[in-house]
């Protein structure tokens, strides 16, 4: 049987507001436990929530960026359940009338095909605190610093058909929230995390299969792995004659497996109802126009501009615009060099390769855009060859000298003096009569031998184009 | 001294006839001498009161006194008071000392009022007789075998018994007006949003509203001036200017159109109460007011609507009392579920549990539409009734409570009969309208309250209408005779 995979994602993006969604306490990460929780966050008797206007603005910005309906009127509701790190015994969220509905986003797949993924809704809610089970000698500690941190929960349609598509979608949303400057995207600190709803059905069947929800996955790599092992599990269950149960499952990265967290029967009845402490959020056209005016150039727009303005392929443009930092880096290099294609190749090849190997982001690159641009300029004006440039790049990676300083100190400047190159060629021809004879008898391959000899003698510095031309001339 | 109204106390303080310390000490002595046999107070704060009184006297000496500087009052124990136990009448919060002040308390402090202590109340304001308090019932000073009403029964009894010149209260379904009526004092529930709810322990957020409990309408105007105002910490508080409620007290009420809803004078009303109310209304007529019979057809649904909306909200509001961060926590729990079940099971009394259960039920999947959603629709119809009525009349009058104070235990076994004692007050909470209860006479030595309901933000008019009646009558001047004092 051929199986079709159906995936929908719920992404939680922590909004980058300075204070919490319903209180004035700071949202900064990493403070000592419970030092960033005020009376409201602690859920003390008598306290009331007051909505942070900045969180609303950020949600509206997101909605406009994905071409969604930004609700003129949305409502906060209470989701009731007991847990020690949920101070009020309910989470303030949005249920029936969310702030953002019906948007979409385009993802690029590896084969160059693009696909639209629907976004059902995005709603504002508050995060819970953290339960700490270690270091308390059998007791549980509660840290409420995170309680009340604003989240935008972005719910997709079940439009993805593979783990790869799910990752591409998640990366695209990640890139978008970073572009919009509404989330720091830090996955290690939990600022960007996702739940995946996964089901399978026989190819061609319309009805959806029973889904399992994979909870709290916080890296791109784990999303892909978790979904793939879950797909395999579901196929195994069904092919063994069993049934997939609707349940919440947890991905264990160490064992690379998913396991039951709670079955559907154990699910809470959250008893949602409108929060009487908060007024409806009412946004008018003027407000939305103002927010729209603050939208930056979005990833797709930037990608298309890169294709047109710099004559790049769709793939190159998509890689370079995947993060705002990479795009900015690229534009800075091009500004210096006026060499878009060469710059794109260097950034996508050597630079991103080295960064990946060292697990660094481009904003942490040891080689700045200015230094890389300086080097590319020297390739363009033929001061160095592409091959020599690799050595210059390595030297720049190690230290902080400019390309020009490295070229000068190591004498890497290309030999373009045709007299000097001619002299080398004459010597080589004189010393290798056998190969000269072979070449002249029609063995064109031997040409490479002569090029190699010249490059060897010049220590790679002879201008390759000149070497070719002069060799052809002399061997005629 | 203790028979002086707030207005008279303010005058005496201003003229130097007595100091705030003297007034405060006088009240503290009275509270001590009564040994609080009425059980009005959960907490008395003598040291703090004297400190505040001395500070107030100092401010006055510096020429920085306001209108009520140095006047002592009591706060219902539902308001959070910094560094003072705030129990809300519950075992759950018997150990809770608030780290912050409610906005109402802050406003009173800014006006340099002195805090005598915290008054007894039904547990989490759920009750109409004060019998659900963890700290025992408050006794009605007019007859100690009878209830003072609830939930602000401690505040009402304290003001009636001259154990505080005035007090704050809260009203979710009648909790200011009904005890005011049963204890023979003046109690005003303002328009929803007029007084900040921040720091007032929530029972039903969309209904709760704080207000003054005093002996006279004039005093209520003075205290409401202090209590009201926009508060950015309460999103449901209304950002509109607060008038000086004393400014219009003396306006003539000639030509005032008084609506008399026929549903408020129906079978459930005690005959004695009906005749007292009738006299009061006739008195208004003699003062030049015009009587208009009106109908509020959805009145009969008010109690049942209320007992869906209020429990629904309370079931969620009271979830925070889980023993994790504050409040009662059970001994050596087996696991998390046991921790919750026993902490909450031990901390809450039976009426609170009943309402949490009802609330959880009406919000649960499969019942939400039939109960919660339907109650919201009925709530709108009830509001529409009033909207319609206020097209034709200026105020609406009727009894505050269908009976006078009843005996202890009489209604505890029958929650519905207890709930019906709020039949006339509940609708105004559902509609968010202001209402006041003023003393209008006695039946068998027990006070009767006249309820006056106004249109939104017409507190000044309610106080004016009440004050005009109190200028010509002396029901509000009557004091219970108490052997212990």
Question: For the residues of B401-449, what is the DSSP string, one character each?
Answer: SSSSPPBTTTTTT-HHHHHHTTTTTHHHHHHT--EEEEEEEEETTEEEE
A194: part of which helix (H) or strand (E)?
strand A192-202
Predicted ipTM > 0.90: yes
Domain limits, CATH 3.90.1300.10, in chain B: 6-256+462-477
pLDDT band for position B397 (cuts 50, 70, 90): very high
Element (H, E) at A44: none
DSSP letter (8 states) at residue A100: E
Structural Rg of chain A based on CA atoms: 29
CB-nearest to B197 from A43, A48, A90 is A48
Interface with chain A: mutation pick from B306, B322, B335, highest number of A CBs within 10 Å: B322
A321 φ, ψ (degrees, to nearest 5): -105, 5
Residue A411 touches chain B, beta carbons under 8 Å: no
Choose the mutation target among A48, A80, A147, A264 for the interface with B, i.e. most B CBs under 10 Å: A48
Q: Are strands A114-126 and A150-156 parallel, antiparallel or unpaired?
A: antiparallel
For the stretch B271-307, pLDDT in tens is: 999 999 999 999 999 999 999 999 999 999 999 999 9
Contact A48 B233 (CB under 8 A): yes
Chain A neighbors of B321, CB-CB under 8 A: 45
pLDDT of res. A133: 84
- Degrees, nearest 5: CA angle A76-A80-A83: 125
Residue B484 is predicted with a pLDDT of 62
For residue B40, report the phi and psi dihedrals to the nearest 5 degrees: -70, -35
Residues 6+ apart with CB under 8 A from A118: A102, A103, A104, A156, A157, A159
SS3 content of chain B, % helix, strand, coil (to 5): 40, 15, 45
Query: Exposure of A399 by Cβ count < 10 A (0-12 exposed, 13-18 middle, 19+ buried)?
Result: exposed
- B315: helix, coil or strand? helix
Arithmetic mean of pLDDT over chain A: 92
Chain A CB contacts of B352 under 8 Å are none
Here the tokens at position A416 are 């373009």
Whether residue A138 lies within 8 A of chain B, CB to CB, comes out as no
Asked if A48 lies within 8 A of B232 by C-beta distance, the reply is no
Could A44 and B364 be called an inter-chain contact, meaning their C-beta atoms sit closer than 8 Å? no
Residue of B nearest to A88 (CA): B320
Q: Give contacts of B200 with chain A, Cβ < 8 Å.
A: 46
Q: What is the pTM assigned to this prediction?
A: 0.91
Scanning every residue of chain B, which has its alpha carbon at the shortest distance from the alpha carbon of A86? B320
Task: Answer whether A277 touches B (CB < 8 Å).
Answer: yes
Q: Encode pLDDT of B407-447 as tens digits.
A: 999 888 888 888 888 889 999 999 999 999 999 999 999 99
Q: Is the pLDDT of residue B168 over 70?
A: yes
**Of the partner residues B102, B206, B319, the one whose CB lies closest to the CB of residue A276:** B206
- Nearest CB among B312, B316, B364 relative to A90 is that of B316
pLDDT in tens, A224-278: 999 999 999 999 999 999 999 999 999 998 999 999 988 877 778 999 999 999 9
Q: B357 — contact with chain A (CB < 8 Å)?
A: no
Q: Output the pLDDT for position B36.
A: 72
The reply to whether B304 touches chain A by the CB within 8 Å rule is no
Exposure string over B250-277, b if 16+ CB within 10 A, otherwise e: eeebeebebbbbebbbeeebeebbbebb
For the domain bounded by B6-256+462-477, which CATH number is listed? 3.90.1300.10
pLDDT for the residue numbered A476: 77
User: Which pLDDT does position B164 carry in this prediction?
Assistant: 98
Alpha helices by DSSP H, B243-401: 271-286, 299-317, 336-347, 350-363, 374-389
A462 reaches B (C-beta below 8 A): no
Mean pLDDT for all residues in chain B: 96
List residues of B with catalytic annotation. Answer: 76, 151, 175
For B58-69, the DSSP string reads HHHHTT---TTT
Which segments of chain A have a pLDDT < 70? none
Q: Note the pLDDT tens digit of each residue in A25-54.
A: 999 988 999 999 999 999 999 999 999 999
Contact: A89, B322; criterion CB under 8 Å: yes
Q: How far apart are CA A386 and CA A346, in angstroms?
A: 10
C-alpha B161/C-alpha B40 separation (Å) is 9
Checking phi first, is residue A435 left (phi over 0); if not, alpha (psi -120 to 50) or beta?
alpha
Q: Are A98 and A123 in contact (CB under 8 A)?
A: yes
B199 lies within 8 A of chain A by CB = yes
B408 close to B146: Cβ distance less than 8 angstroms: yes
Please check the confidence at residue B485 and state whether its pLDDT lies above 70. no
Contact with chain A for residue B206, Cβ under 8 A = yes
Q: Determine, for residues B320 and A279 on separate chains, whether the beta-carbon distance falls below 8 Å.
A: no
Chain B residues close to A82, C-beta within 8 Å = 319, 322, 340
* Sign of CA pseudo-dihedral B357, B361, B365, B369: negative
Residue B200: closest C-alpha in chain A: A46
Q: Where are the alpha helices (DSSP H) in B127-270?
A: 153-160, 177-183, 217-227
Return the SS3 of A241: coil
> How would you write A22-35 as a 3-class SS string?
CCCCECCCCCCCCC
**Cα angle A256-A259-A264, degrees, rounded to a multiple of 5:** 150
In 3D, which of B117, B106, B161, B111 has the Cα closest to residue B139?
B161
CA-wise closest residue to B189 among B445, B440, B468, B400:
B400
Alpha carbon distance A463, A420 (integer Å)? 11
- DSSP H helical ranges for A194-278: 220-239
**A399 sits in which H/E element:** none
Sort out which chain B residues have CB atoms less than 8 A from A47's CB and list them: 198-199
Give the count of Cβ contacts less than 8 A between chain A and B. 95
Closest residue by Cα to residue B258 from B236, B280, B225: B280
């Amino acid at each position: 049987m051929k199986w079709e995979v159906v995936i929908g994602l719920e992404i939680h993006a922590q909004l980058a507001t300075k204070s919490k969604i319903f209180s004035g306490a700071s949202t900064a990460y990493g403070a000592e436990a419970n030092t960033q929780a005020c009376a409201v966050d602690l859920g003390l008797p008598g306290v009331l929530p007051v909505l942070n206007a900045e969180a609303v603005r950020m949600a509206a910005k997101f909605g406009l960026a994905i071409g969604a309906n930004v609700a003129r009127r949305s409502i906060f509701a209470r989701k009731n359940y007991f847990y020690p790190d949920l101070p009020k015994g309910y989470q303030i969220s949005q249920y029936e009338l969310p702030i953002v509905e019906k948007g979409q986003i385009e993802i690029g797949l590896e084969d160059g095909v693009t696909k639209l993924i629907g976004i059902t809704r995005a709603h504002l809610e508050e995060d819970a605190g953290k339960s700490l089970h270690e270091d308390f000698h059998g007791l549980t500690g509660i840290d409420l610093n995170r309680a009340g941190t604003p989240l935008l929960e972005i719910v997709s349609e079940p439009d993805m058909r593979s783990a790869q598509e799910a990752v591409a979608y998640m990366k695209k949303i990640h890139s978008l929230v970073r572009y919009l400057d509404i989330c720091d995207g830090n996955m290690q600190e939990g600022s960007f995390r996702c739940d995946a709803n996964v089901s399978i059905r026989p190819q061609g069947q319309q009805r959806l299969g029973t889904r399992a929800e994979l909870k709290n996955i916080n890296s791109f790599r784990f999303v892909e792995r978790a979904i793939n092992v879950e797909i395999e599990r579901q196929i195994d269950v069904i092919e063994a004659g069993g049934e997939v149960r609707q349940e919440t499952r947890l991905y264990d990265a160490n064992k690379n497996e998913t396991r039951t967290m709670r079955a559907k029967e154990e699910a809470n009845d959250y008893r949602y109802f409108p929060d009487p402490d908060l007024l409806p959020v009412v946004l008018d056209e003027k407000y939305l126009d103002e927010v729209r005016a603050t939208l930056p150039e979005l990833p797709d727009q930037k990608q298309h501009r890169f294709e047109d303005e710099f004559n790049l392929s769709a793939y190159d443009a998509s890689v370079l615009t995947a993060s705002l930092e990479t795009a900015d880096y690229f534009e800075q290099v091009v500004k210096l060099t006026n060499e878009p294609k060469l710059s794109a190749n260097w950034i996508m090849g050597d630079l991103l390769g080295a960064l990946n190997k060292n697990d660094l982001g481009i904003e942490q690159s040891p080689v700045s855009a200015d230094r890389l641009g300086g080097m590319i300029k020297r390739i363009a004006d033929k001061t160095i060859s592409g091959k020599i440039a690799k050595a210059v790049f390595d030297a720049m990676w190690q230290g902080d000298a400019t390309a020009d300083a490295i070229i000068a100190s190591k004498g890497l400047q290309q030999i373009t003096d045709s007299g000097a190159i001619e002299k080398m060629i004459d010597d080589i021809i004189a010393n290798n009569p056998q190969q000269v004879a072979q070449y002249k008898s029609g063995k064109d391959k031997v040409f490479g031998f002569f090029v190699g000899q010249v490059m060897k003698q010049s220590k790679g510095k002879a201008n390759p184009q000149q070497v070719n031309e002069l060799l052809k001339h002399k061997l005629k | 001294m203790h028979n002086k109204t707030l207005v008279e106390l303010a005058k005496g303080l201003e003229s130097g006839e007595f100091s705030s310390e003297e007034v405060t000490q006088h009240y503290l002595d009275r509270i001590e001498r009564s040994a609080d046999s009425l059980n009005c107070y959960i907490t008395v704060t003598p040291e703090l009161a004297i400190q505040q009184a001395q500070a107030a006297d100092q401010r006055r000496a510096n020429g920085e006194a306001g209108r009520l500087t140095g006047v002592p009052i009591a706060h219902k124990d539902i308001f959070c008071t910094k560094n003072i136990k705030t129990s809300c009448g519950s075992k759950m919060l018997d150990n809770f000392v608030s780290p912050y002040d409610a906005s109402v308390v802050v406003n009173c402090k800014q006006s340099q009022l002195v805090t005598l202590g915290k008054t007894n109340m039904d547990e989490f304001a759920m009750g109409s007789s004060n019998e659900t308090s963890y700290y025992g019932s408050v006794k009605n000073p007019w007859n100690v075998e009878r209830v003072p009403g609830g939930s602000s029964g401690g505040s009402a009894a304290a003001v009636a018994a001259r154990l505080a010149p005035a007090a704050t209260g809260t009203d979710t379904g009648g909790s200011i007006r009904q005890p005011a009526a049963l204890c023979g004092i003046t109690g005003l529930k303002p328009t929803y949003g007029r007084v900040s709810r921040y720091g007032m322990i929530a029972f039903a957020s969309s209904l709760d509203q704080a207000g003054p409990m005093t002996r006279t309408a004039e005093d209520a105007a003075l205290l409401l001036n202090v209590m009201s105002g926009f508060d950015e910490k309460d999103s449901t508080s209304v950002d509109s200017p607060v008038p000086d409620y004393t400014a219009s007290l003396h306006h003539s009420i000639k030509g005032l159109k008084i609506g008399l809803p026929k549903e408020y004078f129906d079978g459930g009303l005690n005959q004695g109460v009906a005749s007292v109310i009738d006299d009061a209304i006739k008195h208004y007529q003699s003062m030049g007011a015009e009587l208009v019979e009106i109908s509020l057809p959805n009145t009969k649904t008010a109690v049942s609507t209320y007992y869906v909306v209020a429990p629904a909200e309370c079931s969620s509001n009271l979830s925070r009392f889980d023993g994790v961060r504050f409040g009662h926590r059970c001994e050596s729990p087996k696991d998390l579920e046991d921790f919750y079940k026993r902490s909450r099971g031990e901390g809450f009394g039976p009426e609170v549990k009943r309402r949490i259960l009802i609330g959880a039920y009406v919000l649960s999947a499969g019942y939400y539409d039939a109960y919660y959603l339907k109650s919201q629709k009925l709530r709108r119809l009830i509001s529409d009734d009033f909207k319609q009525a206020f097209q034709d009349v200026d105020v609406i009058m009727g009894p505050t409570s269908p009976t006078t104070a009843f005996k202890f235990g009489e209604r505890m076994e029958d929650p519905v009969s207890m709930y019906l004692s709020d039949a006339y007050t509940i609708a105004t909470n559902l509609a968010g309208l202001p209402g006041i209860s003023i003393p209008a006479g006695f039946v068998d030595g027990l006070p009767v309250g006249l309820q006056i309901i106004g249109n939104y933000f017409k507190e000044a008019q309610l106080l004016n209408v009440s004050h005009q009646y109190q200028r010509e009558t002396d029901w509000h001047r009557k004091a219970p005779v108490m052997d212990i004092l």
